[in-house]
Amino acid sequence: MKRQTLKIDSITEIQNGIFAMNLGGDCSEVNAPGQFINIHVDGFYLRRPISIYSYGEDYVTIVFKVVGQGTKALSEMKVGDELDVLLPLGNGFDPEKGGEKPLLVGGGIGVPPMYGLAKDFINRGIVPQVIMGFNSADDVILLHQFKLLGIEPIVTTVDGSMGIKGFVTDAMKDLDYDYVYTCGPEPMLKAIWDVAPDGQFSFEARMACGFGACMGCTCETKYGYKRICKDGPVLYKEEIIW
């Protein structure tokens, strides 16, 4: 983990209240899809943890939703502004365990980390199946970006306004897969855990420090207590206790 100053190269509202922000600087230590960064926003004591959508040696791209005053202030920043960032944080996904038929499932703002993971699989010569779950068509993000990778995601919406009406687990029923990678709201993760043969689950949690010092995001697992920020955010199915 390093404390870096990154410059905003671009910021775009890609959906109502959802923004993509590209940050330039030394990002060479980011090494796994599913890791996150922790951003200091002027005027706010706690940093904002946001998952990484895409990354390279000299940039990270994040996708975030405005859910409070901190993310609202972040969304109002301009190209050229600089941010105090801790990165990379957390343990990301391990693609090595996914076999030849991995299934990637993202729900809402949990979709962006799935894109980085999908790119990793493509680079390994594996085209994963992808399911994206949203409340309605007005919430759908990154569909075109997945298609540019050569992936045709299955979209589910709770109200049926796009794709399959229902939940991501409804779309999972008829698919042939070996292993699941997923990120999204906890009720969705629990529903997937109930039906998936095996997999890796990325959890969201309220965080203070973001690097394991404060113990504020600790959860119980079958192998003892773990910190979502440092030991996670990715946990394995076998260790999760609901």
| Mean predicted confidence (pLDDT) in 95-102 | 96
Under DSSP, the state recorded for 73 is H
Per-residue model confidence (pLDDT) at position 31: 95
* pLDDT tens-digit readout, 131-169: 999 999 999 999 999 999 999 999 999 999 999 999 999
Residues near 45 by beta carbon (within 8 Å), at least 6 away in sequence: none
| Mean predicted confidence (pLDDT) in 101-120 | 98
Q: Is 26 exposed, middle or buried (0-12, 13-18, 19+ CB in 10 A)?
A: middle
Cis peptide before 113 (omega within 30 of 0): no
The model carries a pTM of 0.96
The CATH architecture one would assign to domain 95-204 is: 3-Layer(aba) Sandwich (3.40)
**d(C-alpha 149, C-alpha 203), whole Å:** 25
The token pair at 211 is 């690097």
Give the amino acid at 98. G
**d(C-alpha 32, C-alpha 215), whole Å:** 23
For strands 234-236 and 199-202, give the pairing.
Answer: antiparallel
The token pair at 11 is 């910021």
Inform me whether the pLDDT recorded for 215 exceeds 90: no
Question: SS3 of 98, please?
Answer: helix
Per-residue model confidence (pLDDT) at position 213: 82
Residues near 216 by beta carbon (within 8 Å), at least 6 away in sequence: 206, 207, 208, 209
Rounded to the nearest integer, the mean pLDDT of the chain is: 95
Inform me whether the pLDDT recorded for 205 exceeds 90: no
Residues near 145 by beta carbon (within 8 Å), at least 6 away in sequence: 115
Return the CATH number of the domain spanning residue range 2-89: 2.40.30.10
Q: Is 57 exposed, middle or buried (0-12, 13-18, 19+ CB in 10 A)?
A: exposed
Give the amino acid at 175. L
**d(C-alpha 28, C-alpha 2), whole Å:** 10
Per-residue model confidence (pLDDT) at position 211: 78
Question: SS3 of 191, please?
Answer: helix
Question: SS3 of 55, please?
Answer: strand
CA distances from 197 to 20, 215, 221, 236 (A): 33, 31, 18, 11
Q: Domains of the chain: which residue ranges? A: 2-89, 95-204
Of 20-34, 51-65, 90-104, 217-231, the least confident: 217-231
pLDDT band at 40 (very low <50, low <70, confident <90, very high): very high
Higher pLDDT, 216 or 162: 162
